[in-house]
Amino acid sequence: MSERLSIAIAQIAPTVGDIAGNLDKIRTARAEAARGGADLAVFCELVVCGYPPEDLVRKPAFQRACRAAVEELAKATADGGPAMIVGAPWRDGEGLYNAAFLLDAGEIKAVRYKVRLPNYGVFDEPRVFTPGSDFPAPVPFRGASLGLMICEDMWIEGAGESLAAAGADFFIVPHGSPFRTSALEERAAAARGRARATGLPLMFVNQLAGQDEVLFEGAAFVMDGDGEIRFRAPQFEPGVFLTRWEKQANSWRCVEGPDAIWVRGEEMIYRAVVLGVRDYIEKNHFPGVVIGLSGGVDSALTAAIAVDALGPGRVRCVMMPSRYTARESLEDAADCAKRLGVSYETIPIEPAVAAFSSMLAPAFDALAPDTTEENIQSRIRGVILMALSNKFGLMVLTTGNKSEMSVGYATLYGDMNGGYNPLKDIYKLDVYRLCHWRNARRPEGLMGPAGAVIPERVIAKPPSAELRAGQRDEDSLPPYAVLDPILERLVEKEMAVRDIVAEGFDEATVRRIEHLLYVAEYKRRQAPPGPKVTAVNFGRDRRYPITNGWRDRG
């Protein structure tokens, strides 16, 4: 005779601080779980307030609102429907905890506190939370003993053994695990360590949301006691996914669940960035976006991402030509806008350039033109985009990629003007890869047209800012095939100069790039946020001083 449980994975997208809206999403998901016959619905870490709440969670009024919300959800379970595991901040005496709750039969049946508070990368939880003292006992639930581990606790060696020794039948892990290209493997490895050490199954439930720079792609899973993932919820898609559990020969196992296929490579990165753009625009209540469409590859990819996130009707593109804008750029920008189906207009900047030249002539006193005049053009374009933003309420999307932002190849108050940068954590070579990928396919759920939305000539031509006659990016920078690998070693891997040189790179080039990386820090501090994709992004991950006399002399 077997015992059975039906447990719903509730993969929803909470908004940080929107407690009332999050409660509505929780109730809706619970109702769907009830229709599927679930006994229990499991939600992600801190689902009541959204994750990460940062210093918002330190406000006493916010803490009280979260407590009231948990108590309200507990009362809702008195209707005989599914129990819930939810997460919320919880004040207990002098401590403020990252907590998970079992809510059932109208009551808070159990409270468990997160033990390991991460303090690396995008995380700084010790700043706001108190750690749980140790792993408490498993939580009894309808014939099963649930071993609750909150997010980072799954990474603790011995955590699973401690819960198993106390009688846990399987593990449930509410998570707020950010997206990065290596995340699927890293999560699976940590879960595998707990499963194989104990022989117990594990359910991983992750948040699904874009929250400023941090993305959460869902991708919940159930792993068996051998460390193999048996069931997968989709990436980037909300939903309530039922799993069926049976107890046979004194052991619980999951016998049924979702069978999504996880995507990798360019599709994974592209869909993550689309999620980030969509949530940033929607959650901040902008009607749409405006983009400076130059005829170059970065602005074309940014426009495609925006259309896939929001639909063509919410994307406005503007070409702002100068005397240095090539005819091909004008043609390519118009062609790209037509393929994407967006609003498109041309606003020449020459009248403003002439006005500034006249205004500044006495101050410059016949000095030779240099980057000053180039930057004025970029800043004029920034003024135009911000004017359209102010007049129509649209958010400006900037278009600088990670290669450019790394070395400061961008104009402060010019092409850096804007509210969000989709390409901020994407190197130039990856920009090209994403363009080729998007031209070849469009996944379901995206709002843009199918087919080659980025003209091939845009991808093929040498990149240029077109701020002076005959300008090319490689006039100022090494070829991107050289630059990007050096940057990856300096930024993501924190490698020493001599170790990079030992891999075959020119020493003078490496030292020049290191210098540019450091001196551009002040620009990055004033840059708009953008979605984290790589292991180390500029902003929450990499926090370097602006005033910095260090150079690697080894």
pLDDT of residue 211: 92
- CA distance linking residue 29 with residue 40, whole number of Å: 11
Using alpha carbons, list the distances in angstroms from residue 232 to 18, 223, 237, 483.
Answer: 28, 9, 12, 38
pLDDT of residue 466: 67
Global pTM?
A: 0.94
Dihedral of the alpha carbons of 94, 153, 111, 7, in degrees to the nearest 10: 160
Cβ(108)–Cβ(84) under 8 Å?
no
Residues annotated as catalytic are 45, 114, 151
What one-letter code names the amino acid at 295? G
pLDDT of residue 494: 95
Q: Which residue has the tokens 């207990």?
A: 92
The β-bridge partners of 140 are 145
Q: Write down the CATH number for the domain with range 3-262.
A: 3.60.110.10
Same fold for the domain at 3-262 and the one at 266-525? no
- CA distance linking residue 534 with residue 530, whole number of Å: 12
Q: Write down the CATH number for the domain with range 266-525.
A: 3.40.50.620
pLDDT of residue 1: 36
Ranges of residues in the chain whose predicted pLDDT is under 50:
1
pLDDT of residue 133: 84
pLDDT of residue 454: 97
Neighbour count for residue 247 (Cβ, 10 Å): 17
Ordered by start, the domain boundaries in the chain are 3-262, 266-525
What one-letter code names the amino acid at 137? A
